[in-house]
Homo-oligomer: A and B are copies of this chain.
Amino acid sequence: MTKTFTRSAGRAANQLRPVRITRNYTVHAEGSVLIEFGATKVLCTASVEERVPPHKRGSGEGWVTAEYGMLPRATHTRGDREAAKGKQSGRTQEIQRLIGRSLRAVFDLALLGERTITLDCDVLQADGGTRTAAITGAFVAARDAVDRLLADGRIAASPIKDAVAAISVGLVDGVPLLDLEYIEDSACDTDMNVVMTGAGGFVELQGTAEGVVFTRDEMSALLDLADKGIGELLELQKQA
């Protein structure tokens, strides 16, 4: 592949943006992580509550769920505040459902017991990849919350079966790129979000063609990139 696309800050096509994971960013939550993918900053908190939603009551199992939000001026131009509009957008709901499913994929809900972990992922600053940063950061916050439950003796064994992380990949002018920033995301032909576990299996895969459809070969190249990126993120999660 001889095509080129110049990325900002001289980044290579298969290179992540600088990733920073700050634990204990706020003090009240059982887990609180600020995760930064370049200029994208998402605050992920994990809150433990001793109750479960109706469909889990009496089941002996717990629940893991997520909510997602974006501060009105996290973006280039101010967006409406969803609380003031009185409803969450379809995009917001899609993302928070994705985060919830991704986290539940690595949880043994029976070991969690009848309690709920809620992962609040709030975007303080957006520059592409907010949902993948959210999943990657939420896992660290969830792990901190579980560690506290273990330390407190409220659970005997960790309900976390594996790690989980996510990254976006995309085709811009036909070039496969890892970890799209906003300007690349806007320009891309195909945008794919990939969620994988520590063991290397896929949890979620969402690819969307914007304008130009993609082929199986292109998808294969994108998955190679994603695999590499997620491997690096899983390592950064461990170090955090």
| Least CB distance, A142 to chain B, in whole angstroms | 13
**Pairwise interchain contact A71-B120, C-beta atoms closer than 8 A:** yes
Q: Which chain B residue shows the least CB distance to A211?
A: B105
Q: Which chain B residue shows the least CB distance to A72?
A: B120
Q: How many identical chains are in the complex?
A: 6
The yes or no answer to A27 lying at the interface (CB within 8 A) is yes
Given A26-B125, A49-B78: A207 and B209 interface contact (C-beta under 8 Å) = no
Q: Which chain B residue shows the least CB distance to A162?
A: B213
The yes or no answer to A61 lying at the interface (CB within 8 A) is no
Given A81-B120, A93-B93, A201-B209: A72 and B47 interface contact (C-beta under 8 Å) = yes
Q: Which residues of B contact A97 (CB under 8 A)?
A: 90-91, 94
Contact of A73 among B29, B88, B196 (CB under 8 A): B29
Interface residues of A in 14-42 (CB under 8 A from B): 26-29, 32, 39, 41
| Least CB distance, A219 to chain B, in whole angstroms | 7
Q: Interface residue count for A (Cβ, 8 Å)?
A: 66
**Pairwise interchain contact A78-B215, C-beta atoms closer than 8 A:** no
Q: Which residues of B contact A92 (CB under 8 A)?
A: 83
The yes or no answer to A45 lying at the interface (CB within 8 A) is yes
Q: Which chain B residue shows the least CB distance to A34?
A: B124
**Pairwise interchain contact B83-A88, C-beta atoms closer than 8 A:** yes
Given A28-B74, A47-B78, A120-B71: A94 and B90 interface contact (C-beta under 8 Å) = yes
CA distance A211 to B81 in the complex (A): 28
| Least CB distance, A56 to chain B, in whole angstroms | 16
